[in-house]
């Protein structure tokens, strides 16, 4: 159990701990929902830098609203506890997944990369937000199969990075830190997260973190200068395309990595479709992952599809498992492709073995001759393909419709030698469509940004739901998820608004009750008691200077000082014989002085003997008090004279005096006197 409590939450279990805080599963009592609460470590609470970083994390992260990023609900300081409340995610970390499986297969790793890169692209494009600590422990696979990016404890916007200056601390986890992080470079950008993503993918696909056998200091030294084996040398069936993609992510110099997340996602889509990435790291550039001879030679992609596939068909080389090429050179690899083609084509027609070439998905040439018995079927199959190809070239902006046509055409040429080309063209269209959909979602995100910042979540949801432009069908699942998320934020905001309205009503009722009770006490000449009531309620709910309670408090404080003014008037008469009107009658006495708020004097008793008497201000007759208070042009004097008049039943005179105090107090007094 936790050794601390947080008002409004029931903490049930510790579910995580990092360098700066622990994470607890909790129940938010008022909203009856599970949440996760990150609590700042006690040893950091007096460090202004840690506190600022903690609060900055919550403030920045709360601005991000994306299905793949854990949502921040609230941040607060309760006594010595600094904490923030975030969405609770039920699932397991990718680190746990890797530990249980030993390593992940390439298909799962690519799916993971797709989800995380989309989330990081959204954070960068909307808030210039970088994570700075991407690692398997900070990625959760939910029980529903979704990917969630968590722990923005080291996240910083570009603006906050620039403010840190030369005093920046090194933040991150050694095995996933980019070289520029290790060097403490204050000007980090999205390319830092690309390196960490590459390190995470390497860990997942090989089962080994970068330089895992070393201590933290040695790991950081190796991030600057060292290398790890090529993924294909660790796991033979990893595709070449994936290894080239990973090598670029892990480039030592950030300028050798991708320029932005759109470039990352474009190459990632190609690798997922079995193609080589467009961007290959130059031989002169350094990467933390060494380049294996088993990845060579490589044909760079052409201007469109960029995939090294034999003309006659077969599996793209970028997706050929490395175990098939393990102990052979690049030349032998090409020969194997030629042999594979000849075997595949045997029985159809005799032809010289084709050379491996890059297939450029432009208008497909129709062959001039076909083998006997094959030409009719091929001709019938190729006709819808060429028609689809021509339509796509004439309507380049209608990619969705082109996809439908090409999918139908691909079915027609299935089983023919043109199946590969059709599939390649289909893959290229899907890649282009993916880029277009990203652009559509980015444009929609820009449209809803103002509505979200203003708290108009339903308007933002409507923008996503009602979109019917290009790629409406393709973006529909993501738009629906975002709309549902925004409607949830609206529901949360509405609940908070209602809760705040109820709290405001309760507070106002407490204010009105305290004001009435305090004035009742003051009108009964118990000014200290009245001030105590006002102080108690203001300690719970601070008020502005012009609030009725603040005005009343200042007035009563001045009224309390009037009794001291009356006592001062008696001090000035020390040694004099004066006639004083007391409630018990008039007395002539020699004033000796004032001690402990009591006036002391000597009177001559019958028989000529002197007798000492004492009295307080409250013992004075009304007339005596009014006389010694002075003129009622001061509000506190008018109030004091009003209470005296009220005490002796002269409400008309009391009303005259009370009309001279501040209006907000006068109105409250009238309400008290009338019993309203």
Q: Where are the domains of the chain?
A: 1-88, 93-295, 503-674
pLDDT at site 349: 34
Preceding peptide of 297 cis, ω within 30°: yes
Q: How many Cβ atoms sit within 10 Å of the Cβ of residue 61?
A: 23
pLDDT at site 170: 57
Q: How many Cβ atoms sit within 10 Å of the Cβ of residue 100?
A: 8
Mean pLDDT for the stretch of residues 152-164? 43
Domain 1-88: CATH superfamily, name plus number: Phosphorylase Kinase; domain 1 (3.30.200.20)
**pLDDT surpassing 60 at residue 380:** yes
What is the band of 43 on the pLDDT scale with cuts at 50, 70, 90? low
Task: Name the region of 151 (left: φ>0; alpha: ψ -120 to 50; beta: rest).
Answer: left
Nearest Cα to 288, choosing from 409, 399, 179, 127? Answer: 179
Range in 24-33, 220-229, 236-245 with the lowest mean pLDDT? 24-33
**pLDDT surpassing 50 at residue 328:** no
Q: How far apart are CA 158 and CA 188, in angstroms?
A: 7
**487 vs 453, residue with greater confidence:** 487
Range in 69-78, 157-166, 476-485, 612-621 with the lowest mean pLDDT? 157-166
**255 vs 629, residue with greater confidence:** 255
pLDDT at site 555: 92
Nearest Cα to 155, choosing from 132, 186, 174? Answer: 132
Range in 150-154, 174-178, 353-357, 606-610 with the lowest mean pLDDT? 353-357
* Highest mean pLDDT of the ranges 334-343, 368-377, 416-425: 416-425
| N-terminal to C-terminal alpha carbon distance within the chain | 51
Q: How far apart are CA 88 and CA 490, in angstroms?
A: 18
Range in 65-79, 126-140, 583-597, 654-668 with the lowest mean pLDDT? 65-79
Write down the mean pLDDT value for the chain: 79
Mean pLDDT for the stretch of residues 577-587? 91
pLDDT at site 215: 92
**pLDDT surpassing 80 at residue 570:** yes
Q: How far apart are CA 202 and CA 197, in angstroms?
A: 9
Range in 102-111, 284-293, 323-332, 574-583 with the lowest mean pLDDT? 323-332
Range in 107-111, 229-233, 647-651, 664-668 with the lowest mean pLDDT? 647-651
What is the band of 370 on the pLDDT scale with cuts at 50, 70, 90? very low
Task: Assess contact for 37 and 83: CB atoms under 8 A.
Answer: yes
* Highest mean pLDDT of the ranges 285-299, 327-341, 451-465: 451-465
* Highest mean pLDDT of the ranges 233-247, 315-329, 644-658: 233-247
Mean pLDDT for the stretch of residues 73-93? 83
pLDDT at site 185: 87
Range in 7-16, 255-264, 381-390, 651-660 with the lowest mean pLDDT? 381-390
Mean pLDDT for the stretch of residues 92-107? 92
Mean pLDDT for the stretch of residues 331-343? 37
**518 vs 318, residue with greater confidence:** 518
**49 vs 235, residue with greater confidence:** 235
**439 vs 50, residue with greater confidence:** 439
| % of the chain with per-residue pLDDT over 70 | 78
What is the band of 299 on the pLDDT scale with cuts at 50, 70, 90? low
SS3 417: coil
**pLDDT surpassing 50 at residue 350:** no
What is the band of 339 on the pLDDT scale with cuts at 50, 70, 90? very low
Which tens digits make up the pLDDT trace of 159-206?
A: 343 344 444 455 678 999 999 999 988 889 999 999 999 999 999 999
Domain 93-295: CATH superfamily, name plus number: Transferase(Phosphotransferase) domain 1 (1.10.510.10)
Nearest Cα to 255, choosing from 219, 284, 295? Answer: 284
Which tens digits make up the pLDDT trace of 243-289?
A: 999 999 999 999 999 999 999 999 999 999 989 999 988 877 899 99
DSSP 538-580: HHHS---TTSHHHHHHHHHHHHHHHHHHHHHHHHTTTT-EEEE
User: What angle do helix axes 419-453 and 457-466 make, rounded to 10 degrees?
Assistant: 160
User: What angle do helix axes 476-523 and 457-466 make, rounded to 10 degrees?
Assistant: 170
pLDDT at site 167: 46
Structure token digits, residue 586: 């008039």
What is the band of 335 on the pLDDT scale with cuts at 50, 70, 90? very low
For the entire predicted model, the pTM comes to 0.47
pLDDT at site 40: 73
pLDDT at site 261: 95
Structure token digits, residue 442: 């980015």
Nearest Cα to 664, choosing from 574, 561, 544? Answer: 544
């Amino acid at each position: 159990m936790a050794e601390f409590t947080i008002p409004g939450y029931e903490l049930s279990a510790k579910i995580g701990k990092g360098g700066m805080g622990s994470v607890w599963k909790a129940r938010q009592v008022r909203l009856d929902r599970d949440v996760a609460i990150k609590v700042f470590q006690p040893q950091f609470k007096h460090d202004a830098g840690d506190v600022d970083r903690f609060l900055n994390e919550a403030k920045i992260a709360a601005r991000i609203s994306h299905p793949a990023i854990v949502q921040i609900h609230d941040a607060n300081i309760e006594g010595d506890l600094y904490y923030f409340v975030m969405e609770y995610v039920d699932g397991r970390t990718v680190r746990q997944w890797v530990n249980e499986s030993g390593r992940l297969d390439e298909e799962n790793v690519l799916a993971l990369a797709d989800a995380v890169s989309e989330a990081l692209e959204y954070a960068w494009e909307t808030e210039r937000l970088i994570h700075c600590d991407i690692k398997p422990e900070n990625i959760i696979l939910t029980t529903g199969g979704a990917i969630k990016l968590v722990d923005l404890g080291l996240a910083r916007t570009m603006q906050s990075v620039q403010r840190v200056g030369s005093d920046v601390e090194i933040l991150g986890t050694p095995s996933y830190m980019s070289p520029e992080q290790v060097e403490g470079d204050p000007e980090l950008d999205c390319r830092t997260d690309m390196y960490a993503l590459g390190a995470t993918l390497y860990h997942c696909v090989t089962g080994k973190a970068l330089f895992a056998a070393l201590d933290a200091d040695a790991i950081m030294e190796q991030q600057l200068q060292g290398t790890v084996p090529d993924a294909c040398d660790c796991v033979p069936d990893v595709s070449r395309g994936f290894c080239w993609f990973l090598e670029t992510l892990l480039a030592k110099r950030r300028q050798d990595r991708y320029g932005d997340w759109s470039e990352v996602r474009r190459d990632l889509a190609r690798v997922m479709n079995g193609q080589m990435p467009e961007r290959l790291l130059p031989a002169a550039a350094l990467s933390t992952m060494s380049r294996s001879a088993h990845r060579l030679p490589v044909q760079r992609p052409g201007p469109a599809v960029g995939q090294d596939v034999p003309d006659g068909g077969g599996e793209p080389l970028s997706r050929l498992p490395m175990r098939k090429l393990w102990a052979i050179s690049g030349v032998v690899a090409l020969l194997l492709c030629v042999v594979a083609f000849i075997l595949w084509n045997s029985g159809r027609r005799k032809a010289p073995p084709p050379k491996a070439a890059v297939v450029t998905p432009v208008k497909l040439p129709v062959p001039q001759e076909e083998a006997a018995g094959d030409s009719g079927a091929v001709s019938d199959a190729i006709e819808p393909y060429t028609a689809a190809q021509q339509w796509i070239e004439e309507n380049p902006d209608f990619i969705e419709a082109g996809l439908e046509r090409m999918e139908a055409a691909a079915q027609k040429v299935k089983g023919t030698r043109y199946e590969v080309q059709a599939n390649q063209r289909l893959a290229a269209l899907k890649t282009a469509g993916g880029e277009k959909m990203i652009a559509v979602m980015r444009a929609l995100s820009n449209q809803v940004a103002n509505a979200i910042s203003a708290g108009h979540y339903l308007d933002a949801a409507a923008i996503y739901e009602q979109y019917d432009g290009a790629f409406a069908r393709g973006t529909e699942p993501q738009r629906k998820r975002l709309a549902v998320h925004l409607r949830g934020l609206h529901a949360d905001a509405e609940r908070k608004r209602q809760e705040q309205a109820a709290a405001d009503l309760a507070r106002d009722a407490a204010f009105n009750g305290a004001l009435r009770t305090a004035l009742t006490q003051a009108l009964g000449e118990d000014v200290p008691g009245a001030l105590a009531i006002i102080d108690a309620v203001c300690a719970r709910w601070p008020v502005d200077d012009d609030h009725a309670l603040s005005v009343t408090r200042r007035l009563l404080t001045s009224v309390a000082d009037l009794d001291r003014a009356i006592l001062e008037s008696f001090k000035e008469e020390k040694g004099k014989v004066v006639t004083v009107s007391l409630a018990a009658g008039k007395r002539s006495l020699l004033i000796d002085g004032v001690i402990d708020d009591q006036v002391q004097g000597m009177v001559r008793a019958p028989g000529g003997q002197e007798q000492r008497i004492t009295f307080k201000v409250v013992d004075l007759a009304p007339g005596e008090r009014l006389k010694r208070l002075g003129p009622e042009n001061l509000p506190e004097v008018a109030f004091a004279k009003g209470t005296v008049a009220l005490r002796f039943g002269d409400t008309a005179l009391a009303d005259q005096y009370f009309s001279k105090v501040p209006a907000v107090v006068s109105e409250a007094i009238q309400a008290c006197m009338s019993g309203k």
